[in-house]
Amino acid sequence: VGDVVYCAGQIALVPCTMQLVSGGIWTEAVVSLRHVERVLRAMSQKTALHHVITASCYVTDSKHIPIARSIWQKKLQGCEKVEDSETYHDVTAVRGLLAVVVISHLPRDAAIEWHVVAAVDDPLQRKHFAMKMLSEGFQIECESVESSSASCASISVRLSLISPSSSQLDLDGPLRDLVAMFRQAVEKLSEDCSASPLSFRAFFKEDVFDAETLQRGLQEYLEKHLGKKTPALILVPVVGLPGKEVIHITCWLS
């Protein structure tokens, strides 16, 4: 779509047999990412993994999280080296935002699946912005990446529980702060980027939150903070997230 390439649902199938590769998570991670690269290149000759602005990786075991991240980083380093040798740049490319989440089951019993959105742009000219704050026992971290053409962007917001309380979690304050920080990121982007937030995908640990309460709270604060610019809220229950994260939000702006 324009300068944006979407690639969804890549798992490690062997092309001629359409069976899952054998060899476990490492092999699956490498093969499924190679499929992503090929799809991107087929859609647009100039597109490689380092053009990805946002990536969601689904795994079926929390032990797979560091493996997925490690292979993602290695692949990106490989792309950037090739690019560097052509351009002799000392500037580092701004990498896309990666969310790794644990779910109970994937198609064909795969261990890992990738969904990415890439922008046909110059990763060396992208803008990156990050901030964090504490909110009642939680830490909120926010990052954004804007394409070099300023036509699209991605925002990620992570809520981590840093001091677990024995009593019932009061989420009202942290959710309010999370959405306020999200709005700040949107405003920061809008200084030179015409993109509007389209989808607000909230991966949340299903053993920590009640989906209905979370939906109500997020919707209310989004409407309050963003008014007519409120993106579509999509809640995705997950079994696990990295580290102490309890919510990971990814938002696409276009």
- Identify the H or E element spanning 128: strand 127-135
Q: What is the pLDDT of residue 1?
A: 54
Q: Which residue type does 80 have?
A: E
Query: Alpha-carbon distance 251 to 245, whole Å?
Result: 17
Query: Alpha-carbon distance 200 to 222, whole Å?
Result: 10
Q: Which of 112, 80, 86, 94 is nearest to 9 (CA)?
A: 112
Q: In what order do the strands lie in the sheet with 127-135?
A: 127-135, 138-146, 153-161, 245-253, 197-205, 232-238
Residues forming CATH 3.30.1330.40 domain(s) in the chain: 1-124
Handedness of CA 113, 160, 94, 78 (dihedral sign): negative
The CATH classification of domain 126-254, taken from the options 3.40.50, 3.30.1330, 1.10.3470, 1.10.1060:
3.30.1330
Q: Decide if 197 contacts 249 (C-beta within 8 A).
A: no
Residue 86 CB-density burial (10 A; 0-12 exposed, 13-18 middle, 19+ buried): exposed
Q: What is the pLDDT of residue 2?
A: 61
Q: Pull the structure tokens for residue 38.
A: 């090929």
Full DSSP string of 46-106: T--GGGEEEEEEEESSGGGHHHHHHHHHHHHHHHHHHHHHHH---SPPPPPEEEEEE-S--
Instruction: Please list the alpha-helical segments (H only) found in 88-163.
Output: none
- Which class in CATH covers the domain with range 1-124? alpha beta
What torsion, rounded to 10 degrees, do the Cα atoms 229, 235, 238, 240 define? 40
Instruction: Please list the alpha-helical segments (H only) found in the chain.
Output: 24-43, 65-87, 172-190, 211-226
Query: Alpha-carbon distance 110 to 32, whole Å?
Result: 10
Query: Alpha-carbon distance 175 to 157, whole Å?
Result: 11
Taking only the tens of pLDDT, the chain with its 254 residues reads 568 999 999 999 998 999 999 999 999 999 999 999 999 999 988 899 999 999 999 999 999 999 999 999 999 998 877 666 665 556 678 999 999 999 999 999 999 999 999 999 999 999 999 999 999 889 999 999 999 999 999 999 999 998 776 566 788 999 999 999 999 999 999 888 889 999 999 999 999 999 999 999 999 999 999 999 999 999 999 999 999 999 999 999 99
Query: Alpha-carbon distance 113 to 115, whole Å?
Result: 7
